[in-house]
Amino acid sequence: MAVVYATADDYAAYTDKPAPAGIDAVLSRASERIDELLIGAVYSTDDSEMPTDPKEKDAIMRATCAQAAWSLALGDPYGVASAFKDVQIGSVRLGGRNTEGGPPRHAPDAARILHVAGLLPGYAFDTTAW
């Protein structure tokens, strides 16, 4: 089973807003994105694969909340909208393939939180969307 690094309460505290309906699924997906960023990171974990160092655990939790908030703001919790030129949710409609790029897969704030915590020492930030 995949590790989920943040709870609805964590999300509410991070965003200073009530957690929206379905936040558990969004946090689960956000945790998967954070796992992608943490490939190669070295930190201690417990038997449930949660970080044991309180500062690292806090950074990973905040990064997960930032990733979840970003995906909700984009309206794209699965990270697929950037693959299409035109996306519409109601009545679907995806449009043609986007060959010009789109929003990055990972929230810039999430990457920065992990970088500042020392978990991504050599991470290069994607600034093309800015």
Q: Could you read off the pLDDT of 19-56 as tens digits, one per residue? A: 999 999 999 999 999 999 998 889 999 999 999 999 99
What is the pTM for the complete model shown? 0.79
For residue 127, pLDDT over 60 is answered with no
- With beta carbons less than 8 A apart as the criterion, state whether 4 and 27 touch: yes
pLDDT given for residue 75 in this prediction: 81
The pLDDT > 70 percentage for the chain reads 71
pLDDT given for residue 88 in this prediction: 60
pLDDT given for residue 89 in this prediction: 61
Total domains in the fold of the chain: 1
91 inside domain = yes
- One-letter amino acid for residue 123 of the chain: Y
54 inside domain = yes
For residue 77, pLDDT over 80 is answered with no
80 inside domain = yes
123 inside domain = no
Q: Name the more confident of 78 and 65.
A: 65
